[in-house]
Amino acid sequence: MKKILLVILITLLCGAQAFAQVDRREVRAGNRAFKKEQWQKAEIDYKKALLKDSTSVAAQYNLANDLYREENYTEAEKYAKTALDSLSRSPRAADAYFNAGDIYLQQRRWSEAIEAFKDSLRRNPGDMDAKSNLAYAQKMLEKQQQDQQNQDQNDDQNQDQNNDQNKDQNQDQNQDNQDQNKEQNDDKQDNQDQNQDQQQNPDQNQDQQPPQQDKQDQKISPEAAEQMLQAIQAQEDQTQEKVKKEKAAALKSRQKEKNW
């Protein structure tokens, strides 16, 4: 009986070792593809490794890095978080937090990026890349908050202006109604007077009509319209250039290429 148990134990140990070797073989294949910048092939290899061992931290960590290169930030975040659960106390924790911060940067999630880079620096205070990315994320968060504050102020001002405009419009409308009623009453009185005159003087010319005042349409000159279009285009170009600079600055950040 003891011999049978011993054989079973040896068989299980050998099977587990072979299973681990298969897992590592897939991870190494993914690493080779990763170094050649064959991102899709590397993704397939890492996912094969996870199919054989869903708890493989190396496959999770490396797959997150690979998906980052493919700009699939949502999936990259998922695997990076899973890897961090196992790496939070390991020597690789600084790099794992750094990578998570980079993923948040690309998603413009500045607050989460700041916390990730701080966690990375707590474990590796001398990492200049983490310090640089932390400063960038803090600057972008400050800018976002300032832009939001300005937007809120503009919204309040616009609301006040709309209220004032509505108030003025109501006042103008009331005044117009009063003037129109007065004009109608005056016209009615004039008609009564005219009818009375016609009855008293039947030979008077009935065809006379009050002169009408011509109204000239107000139009914008072609020169003014062209200047307005140029100003709008210049503002749009400036906005696009600003966005391009921000995106270029964010893309300077690169994950740690320390795949297992």
CA–CA–CA angle 104, 105, 108 (5° rounding): 90
User: What is the C-alpha separation between 130 and 256, in angstroms, rounded?
Assistant: 10
What's the pLDDT score for residue 249? 55
Contact 18, 30 (CB under 8 A): no
In a domain, 159, yes or no: yes
**Co-location of 13 and 83 in the same domain:** yes
Contact 79, 42 (CB under 8 A): no
In a domain, 8, yes or no: yes
What's the pLDDT score for residue 122? 96
What's the pLDDT score for residue 216? 47
At 223-244, the pLDDT tens digits run 777 888 888 888 888 877 776 6
**Co-location of 1 and 80 in the same domain:** yes
Question: Could you count the other beta carbons within 10 Å of the beta carbon of residue 259?
Answer: 19
What's the pLDDT score for residue 221? 79
**Co-location of 17 and 55 in the same domain:** yes
**Co-location of 21 and 6 in the same domain:** yes
**Co-location of 18 and 99 in the same domain:** no
What's the pLDDT score for residue 10? 29
Which of 87, 106, 123 is at the close of a domain?
A: 87
Q: What does the block give as tokens for 71?
A: 């700009």
Q: List Cα–Cα distances, 81 to 76, 101, 164, in angstroms.
A: 9, 11, 52
What's the pLDDT score for residue 163? 78
Contact 80, 99 (CB under 8 A): yes
In a domain, 202, yes or no: no
In a domain, 219, yes or no: no
| Ranges of residues in the chain whose predicted pLDDT is under 50 | 1-22, 213-216
What's the pLDDT score for residue 195? 65
| Long-range own/partner contacts, residues 211-217 (CB < 8 A, 24 or more apart) | none
What's the pLDDT score for residue 201? 60
Chain position carrying tokens 């005056």: 186
* Secondary structure (H, E, C), 161-198: HHHHHHHHHHHHHHHHHHHHHHHHHHHHHHHHHHHHHH
| Domains contained in the chain, number | 2
In a domain, 259, yes or no: no
In a domain, 139, yes or no: yes
Contact 98, 131 (CB under 8 A): no
What's the pLDDT score for residue 166? 78
**Co-location of 63 and 109 in the same domain:** no
Which of 87, 107, 133 is at the close of a domain?
A: 87
In a domain, 230, yes or no: no
Range of the domain at 122: 94-163+248-253
In a domain, 209, yes or no: no
**Co-location of 68 and 105 in the same domain:** no
Considering the entire predicted model, what is its pTM?
0.58
Residue 112, domain CATH:
1.25.40
